[in-house]
Amino acid sequence: MAEVKRITTPLTKEMSRSLKAGDSVLITGTIYSARDAAHKAMTEALDRGEKLPMDFTNQIVYYLGPTPAKPGQAIGAAGPTTAGRMDKYTPQMLEQGLTGMIGKGYRSAAVVEAMKKNSTVFMVAIGGAGALIAKTIKAYEVIAYPELGPEALAKLTVEDFPAIVAIDTDGNNFYEEGQKPFCKL
């Protein structure tokens, strides 16, 4: 069984390059969440020549739309959103220094090329495990676009957040490589 790699944020490009497709990771520190609407707002701001509400250098964004927190909890269910929904915004976001993304599902060829160019990894969280993932999130704070509700840009403090590297900085894709032993030739 492969060793679990522990990551403490920020995720530097050197750390990002050390992760390989198929690696299991536990992330501790600060990550950010944003979904479709926040990504759209940020890329439109960049297109207008405006600054983003935060510096994405060496940061990880989790494609998340949380449910409301119950009393005493930092967040409600916190399962991943399909990453492909952010693909049209991703190359521009990677140019802002983003080194890690977490979601679920496949990424486009254009995104994989942008990942290779910018030394960025794509990690997946387990869909359907939002209640369990929420237990690793110790704090949740909206930092921009509060009008977007659960799609706002938010800061999360995480401890041992579980993920698997799906696509590494060389473009190796665990979705493809992991299936090979089970495919008939």
Q: Residue 140: how many CA atoms within 13 Å on its side-chain side?
A: 27
82, β-bridge pairs: 104
Q: Would you say residue 128 has pLDDT above 90?
A: no
Report which of residues 177 and 120 the model is more confident about. 120
The Cα–Cα gap between 18 and 81 comes to: 25
Catalytic residue among 19, 32, 33, 39: 39
Q: Would you say residue 182 has pLDDT above 60?
A: yes
Length of the chain: 185
Q: Would you say residue 90 has pLDDT above 70?
A: yes
Residue extents of the structural domains in the chain: 4-172
Fold for the domain defined by 4-172: fumarase (3.20.130)
Summary mean pLDDT of the chain: 93
Q: In the annotation, is 118 catalytic?
A: no
The Cα–Cα gap between 37 and 107 comes to: 18
How much is the pLDDT for 127? 79
The Cα–Cα gap between 83 and 170 comes to: 19
Q: Would you say residue 121 has pLDDT above 90?
A: yes
* DSSP H or E segment with residue 154: strand 153-167
The Cα–Cα gap between 128 and 112 comes to: 25
Is the Cβ–Cβ distance between 138 and 31 less than 8 Å? no
Model confidence at 184, pLDDT cuts 50, 70, 90, reads low
How much is the pLDDT for 181? 66
User: Whole-model pTM?
Assistant: 0.93
| Amino acid symbol at 111 | V
How much is the pLDDT for 111? 97
pLDDT tens figures, 96-114: 999 999 999 999 999 999 9
pLDDT tens figures, 6-54: 999 999 999 999 999 999 999 999 999 999 999 999 999 999 999 999 9
Is the Cβ–Cβ distance between 89 and 110 less than 8 Å? no
Model confidence at 89, pLDDT cuts 50, 70, 90, reads very high
